[in-house]
Amino acid sequence: MSGPLRKPQSTALSVMEFYCPPCETAMCQECTSGEHGEHPTVPLKDVVEQHKASLLDQLNAVKKRLPEIDSALLTLSEILQQLTSRKSSIEDDIHTTFDELQKTLNVRKSVLLMELEVNYGLKQKVLQAQLDTLLQGQEGINSSCNFTEQALTHGSEAEVLLVKKQMGERLIELANQELPLQPGENAQLDFLVETDGLKKSIHNLGTVVTTNAVASETVATGEGLRHCVVGVPTAITITTKDKDGQLCKMGNAVITAEISFSDGCKVDGEILDNKNGTYDYLFTAPKEGPFNLSLRLYNQHIKGSPFKIKAHIQTSPNSDGTKKRLKSPGSGHIKQKAFKRPASMYSTGRRKENPIEDDLIFRIGTKGRNKGEFTNLQGVAASSQGKVLIADSNNQCVQVFSNDGQFRSRFGIRGRSPGQMQRPTGVAVHPTGDIIIADYDNKWVSIFSSDGKFKNKIGSGKLMGPKGVAVDRNGHVIVVDNKACCVFIFQANGKMVTKFGNRGNGDRQFAGPHFAAVNNNNEIIVTDFHNHSVKVFNTEGEFLLKFGSNGEGNGQFNAPTGVAVDVNGNIIVADWGNSRIQVFDGSGSFLSYINTLADPLYGPQGLALTSDGHVVVADSGNHCFKVYRYLQ
């Protein structure tokens, strides 16, 4: 029965003393022997108390939903507010972008009109002066002819003689007068403009990026959620889904990750957008013990987050079948051995007698934001003037050191305007001394002078996620676009020379390429991160060779990153997932390791050869760079 409850009359309540459970109704004494005579009855008071208790439990259960609803309302209100704010901000960005384009068009329009006016004025001046000269000559001839003809027709003999004397020389002069009878200019004024490409670019200008992914349906998978080995890079896959649990098939979702130990230790990692709705989170645990991994989508925990994971130290079997702990974390699977490296200009040709002796000369840096401190350092470059340059990614700057590790300077301001840095990942030095920096998040390459003054940016509008940069023998800038899975070649002024590669696992394809180097033959060597290989191309982008496969053995990789080439053409590669540095000859045959066992690397990134012949590598997981002996 629906409708408002009616308060029973007091006389009715006084007789309703019993309750019939089968009929679920109150009744009087008389009804217990009447129509409800065969039904069990209980005192109404007891039933009411039971019903009150039941209703109270139900009421409390319902009220418990209110905080959940309040929280959901608050979250939805915040998201709606953020959405409205983002809409307003993007509207401003769109208006500003197109207003700036309109200003640029108007400026160009004014320049063209001015050029037209100048060219017209120059031509008109020449033609008008020629016209005035001809008119003046014509008037002089007509005047002299009329005067002479008048004298010949109507003048006396004396007047004819006088005219002959006065006009003879004048007529000879007019007959021989040089006049500008041929045009001194032409009438050509053309306007040449190619608008098809521009219209196409404008038609495709800008993209409003969004996804339908929600945190409550998004999941994380992978072995890294179950176990994690200290010092060994670990990967977790995040799959985004919409509110109905359907897979999202586009990238660009905002995902953040945070690893925290009980002692407050924080660990950084790298999130790779696969552009298909899935993302790879790559991290390396620096020490043993339990930790929490928080994965958030749009600042909300995904399903199961925070995850409780325990990092343990890799064990290795002894010859007697028992297990022992290795001396250094992250090196249990690295089969580094002593090899005689090929001789070079730095080499004595002597075999290293002690294979356990570490090649490390020194290390510089700890985690932090001050001079000589780093947060997720990435690219490395070395200049012929004895400088080492480090792309300090999360500190949005480049730090400069001497070959012996002395801090010299740093430059860079966080921001998204030309001359600022948002996420510097690659660095190279041009033969002119200019410093070239790949800015992953700003999607361009910045060029600074040797003392850190901004000069120019290139690749804007073409690059999607530049990671590494190098310079070839022609002074061209090689840019490895990690997101677009291709390589661009630019002139130093920003004009594109060529580009090659796309996403895939073929010879001319890449899957998250990282860094590049150039050998003495001007061939481009690219590390193909997810394809676990190194590929070599000529300057036209033609594939020459590749080497490497996924694994831990000699010549195998688990996601190669930094790369450099020595004077003999030998290729030095940072093996990120195996936390080691391998050396190959120019044809890709494995030669040796650089011994890093005593102070293990944790996820090395960029590397370079210093001017004094050592290898410098960005030890990203340890927030420092290390310098090793090479070919001694």
CATH number at residue 239: 2.60.40.10
- Asked whether residue 508 falls in the same domain as residue 373, the answer is yes
Q: How far apart are CA 521 and CA 459, in angstroms?
A: 25
Residue count (the chain): 632
Q: Where residue 412 sits, what CATH number does that domain have? A: 2.120.10.30
pLDDT at 158: 81
Q: Say what percent of the chain tops pLDDT 70.
A: 89
pLDDT at 458: 95
User: Which has the minimum average pLDDT: 22-36, 160-174, 326-340, 463-477?
Assistant: 326-340
Query: Please, are residues 528 and 511 in contact by the beta-carbon 8 Å criterion?
Result: yes
pLDDT band at 358 (very low <50, low <70, confident <90, very high): low
Query: Please, are residues 601 and 580 in contact by the beta-carbon 8 Å criterion?
Result: yes
pLDDT in tens, 52-80: 888 888 888 888 888 988 888 988 888 88
- Asked whether residue 554 falls in the same domain as residue 624, the answer is yes
Q: Is residue 91 part of a domain?
A: yes
Q: What are phi and psi of 15, to 5 degrees?
A: -100, -10
- Asked whether residue 135 falls in the same domain as residue 222, the answer is no
Q: Is residue 333 part of a domain?
A: no
pLDDT over 50 (residue 38): yes
Q: Which residue has the higher pLDDT, 197 or 495?
A: 495
Q: Is residue 471 part of a domain?
A: yes
State the pTM of this model.
0.49
Q: Is residue 95 part of a domain?
A: yes
Tokens of 124: 């008109």
Which residue segment(s) compose the domain that 243 sits in? 215-312
- Asked whether residue 165 falls in the same domain as residue 225, the answer is no
Query: Please, are residues 559 and 579 in contact by the beta-carbon 8 Å criterion?
Result: no
Q: How far apart are CA 58 and CA 60, in angstroms?
A: 5
User: Which has the minimum average pLDDT: 137-151, 349-363, 387-401?
Assistant: 349-363
- Asked whether residue 442 falls in the same domain as residue 551, the answer is yes
Compute the C-alpha angle 260/263/268, nearest 5°: 30
Please state whether beta strands 307-312 and 289-297 pair in parallel, antiparallel, or not at all (unpaired): antiparallel
Q: How far apart are CA 392 and CA 401, in angstroms?
A: 13
| Prior bond of 306 cis (ω within 30°) | yes
pLDDT in tens, 502-526: 999 899 999 999 999 999 999 999 9
- Asked whether residue 168 falls in the same domain as residue 229, the answer is no
Tokens of 480: 């490895």
Q: Is residue 222 part of a domain?
A: yes
- Asked whether residue 378 falls in the same domain as residue 525, the answer is yes
pLDDT in tens, 430-446: 999 999 999 999 999 99
- Asked whether residue 158 falls in the same domain as residue 239, the answer is no
Tokens of 112: 């063209």
Task: Examine the fold and report which residue of 176, 201, 224 is the final residue of a domain before the chain moves on.
Answer: 176
pLDDT at 467: 96
- Asked whether residue 155 falls in the same domain as residue 232, the answer is no
- Asked whether residue 141 falls in the same domain as residue 222, the answer is no
Work out the widest C-alpha separation in the chain, in whole angstroms.
Answer: 172
Number of H helices, E strands in the chain: 5, 41
Tokens of 600: 């293990």
Contacts of 10 (CB under 8 A, 6+ apart): none
Residue 300: Cβ within 10 Å count: 13
Q: Is residue 563 part of a domain?
A: yes
Number of domains in the chain: 3
Q: How far apart are CA 389 and CA 37, in angstroms?
A: 99
Q: Is residue 51 part of a domain?
A: yes
pLDDT over 50 (residue 321): no
Residue 503: Cβ within 10 Å count: 18
- Asked whether residue 86 falls in the same domain as residue 235, the answer is no
pLDDT band at 487 (very low <50, low <70, confident <90, very high): very high
Average pLDDT, the chain: 85
Query: Please, are residues 490 and 484 in contact by the beta-carbon 8 Å criterion?
Result: no
- Asked whether residue 375 falls in the same domain as residue 481, the answer is yes
Q: Which DSSP category does 557 fall into? A: B
Q: Is residue 317 part of a domain?
A: no
Task: Examine the fold and report which residue of 312, 335, 370 is the final residue of a domain before the chain moves on.
Answer: 312
Task: Examine the fold and report which residue of 295, 312, 329 is the final residue of a domain before the chain moves on.
Answer: 312
Tokens of 286: 């620096």
Query: Please, are residues 547 and 573 in contact by the beta-carbon 8 Å criterion?
Result: no
pLDDT over 60 (residue 393): yes
Average pLDDT over residues 247-274: 87
74-83, 108-117, 416-425: which has the highest mean pLDDT? 416-425
